[in-house]
Structure 1
Amino acid sequence: MCLIILVHRAHRDYPLLLAANRDEFHARPTAGAAFWDAHPDLLAGRDLTAGGTWMGVTRQGRFAAVTNFRDPARTAPAPRSRGELPLAWLTGDARDPAACLREIAARGGQYAGFNLLLGDGEALWYYSNAGAGDPVRLEPGIYGLSNASLNTPWPKVTLGKSRMAALLGSPVDHAGLLSTITDRRPARPETLHPLGLDADMDQLLSAQFILTERYGTRSSTTLIRDASGGLGWRERRYDATGEQSAVMEEQFEVTR
């Protein structure tokens, strides 16, 4: 997944609001979000090549999402798939996100660069193996994550955060959340240069919603968790031309 815009405990009625795009090669086989047979409480998509996921939730209110960390200097294959990382929390035995992230940090060098968000309905934590920092508990606020560190001001992230902030004064629904991550226009070249993102491919990938022949936005997911414990999830999947090919929606009450 390459773009996540979220609101963590910054809205009176919604402890968590999220809109996210997953970008991937069109040829990589993927199963859309569903409850897993092996883990009936887990709602997530599945990467059919390595078996992991990019984002998921559980009926008990656990949440996890991962993005790749863009680092041209670190391109060698890693021994383990980053898709394992959300599952370590969503299907594991760790008592809380901080404990899970400490375990992950101890083996972080076995994965290519990643950003990881873990939550339990109360706290939300962030960790990346691409820096030297420890896991961080996030304060209430609006956050954006793409393929650099949390809140790095890439144009797609800045745009998403500003749209999300504007949305919070209106009634919240899935359509509104989706509108924060759907811009298909590449960023202006002058906004990329200060970030070192000035190659032709970086220009193509600078849009929130990516359209290229071999690689692009495969799905968009919106998530609404309300203060009474209800959780709503909607996933839209797209074909290689960017046309919507399927919609899946789940609504359930979080149990403890």
Structure 2
Amino acid sequence: MCLIAFAWNAHPHWRLLLAGNRDEFHARPSAALARWDDAPITGGRDLEAGGTWLGVTGSGRCCVVTNVRDPRDPQLGVSRGLLATDYLNGHADAAAHARQLLHSAGDYRPFNLLTFDSDAAFYIGNRPEPRAQAVTPGVHGLSNADFNTPWPKTRFLMQHLQHWIDAGDAADFAPLFVALADEQVAPDEQLPDTGVGLERERWLSAAFIRGESYGTRASTVVAIGHDGHGVIVERRFGPNGRFTGETMLRFAGSSPT
């Protein structure tokens, strides 16, 4: 993923409410949202490295990973997508998993990781050094920088998520997908300087990125209730933002349907 806003224990019905965009090269092979045959995971799948950028389990665990935008970093190490599958396949709770991962976090390519279970949520990152912190109740954001770094598009999506919560709707996710589809570019004075140049900073500042070879590949909303029941919805896009399909799966207890 490259843009995430989520509410943790901040909604009367949903324990976790998450909206995010996955930006990637269109040539990288991926499988659509589905229940995996070889693991208790529901999510999209990176067919190049085998992991996922966002996944859930029937028991209500969730995990999402982003990269860290820094062209000076050699991007060496184990694929960060495997971090998500390892957590979702494992039995350690979010707190224990965070403690364990700190010992090997430096072995992976630059990453930000969010893990959720029925009781706790954690952020784990490995740049500039491995660190972990518990997520407090409220609305948070994450992109290709540190946790809650106020990039314009991150603030924008967090605001829309907060407005959705304040409106009191628990089932109509359409406004969240509208926010994820926004292509407005941030003013130059608000842009971060991540070393990719001004033109690329402008292009990447939109929530939805439209491009021939690189852009937003999927927009996803995850909602997990305080009772463990939930839903995950994925909208997919091809080159130049062409809509290619949508999948919605509900889960209750042990398996999505």
Q: What TM-score does the superposition give when structure 1 sets the normalisation length? A: 0.93
- How high is the sequence identity, in percent, across the aligned residues? 40
What pairs up with 1:127-146 in 2 under 5 angstroms?
Answer: 127-132=124-129, 134-146=131-143
Are positions 1:155 and 2:163 aligned together?
no
Structure 2 partner of 1:90: 88
Structure 1 partner of 2:26: 26
Q: CA deviation at 1:72?
A: 2.4
Partners of 1:18 and 1:30 lie apart in 2 by 21
The one-letter amino acid paired with 1:5 is: A
List, as ranges, runs of 4+ consecutive aligned residues in structure 1 with deviation greater than 4 Å: 193-198
Deviations 1:81-106 (CA, angstroms, capped at 9, x unpaired): 1110001110123x211222222221
Are positions 1:187 and 2:149 aligned together?
no
Structure 1 partner of 2:8: 8
**Alignment partner of 1:169: what SS?**
helix
> Residue 8 and residue 73 in structure 1: after superposition, are their counterparts in 2 closer, same or farther (change >3 A)?
same
Preserved CA contact (<8 Å) 1:19 1:180: no
Structure 2 partner of 1:116: 113
Deviations 1:54-79 (CA, angstroms, capped at 9, x unpaired): 010001111100000112221x2413
Partners of 1:196 and 1:49 lie apart in 2 by 27
**Alignment partner of 1:179: what SS?**
helix
Please list every run of 5 or more consecutive structure 1 residues that lacks an aligned counterpart in the other structure.
none
> Residue 250 and residue 144 in structure 1: after superposition, are their counterparts in 2 closer, same or farther (change >3 A)?
same
**Alignment partner of 1:101: what SS?**
helix
> Residue 144 and residue 185 in structure 1: after superposition, are their counterparts in 2 closer, same or farther (change >3 A)?
same
Preserved CA contact (<8 Å) 1:127 1:134: yes
What pairs up with 1:204-215 in 2 under 5 angstroms?
Answer: 204-215=203-214
Please list every run of 5 or more consecutive structure 2 residues that lacks an aligned counterpart in the other structure.
none
The one-letter amino acid paired with 1:55 is: L
Deviations 1:194-242 (CA, angstroms, capped at 9, x unpaired): 7777521111111000012210000011111223332011101011121
Q: CA deviation at 1:193?
A: 5.4
Structure 1 partner of 2:239: 240
Structure 1 partner of 2:55: 56
> Residue 140 and residue 77 in structure 1: after superposition, are their counterparts in 2 closer, same or farther (change >3 A)?
closer
Q: CA deviation at 1:132?
A: 3.6
Partners of 1:226 and 1:100 lie apart in 2 by 22
Deviations 1:22-71 (CA, angstroms, capped at 9, x unpaired): 000011000011111101x3101110111111010001111100000112
Q: CA deviation at 1:180?
A: 2.9
Partners of 1:16 and 1:35 lie apart in 2 by 20
Of 62-71 and 173-182, the range deviating more from structure 2: 173-182
The one-letter amino acid paired with 1:62 is: R
Aligned residues: 253
Structure 1 partner of 2:227: 228
Deviations 1:151-188 (CA, angstroms, capped at 9, x unpaired): 10101001011111111122132212223322112211
The one-letter amino acid paired with 1:84 is: L
Q: What TM-score does the superposition give when structure 2 sets the normalisation length? A: 0.93
Cα root mean square deviation, aligned: 1.8
Preserved CA contact (<8 Å) 2:95 2:122: yes
Partners of 1:100 and 1:195 lie apart in 2 by 30
Partners of 2:160 and 2:13 lie apart in 1 by 19
Preserved CA contact (<8 Å) 2:193 2:201: no
Of 105-114 and 174-183, the range deviating more from structure 2: 174-183
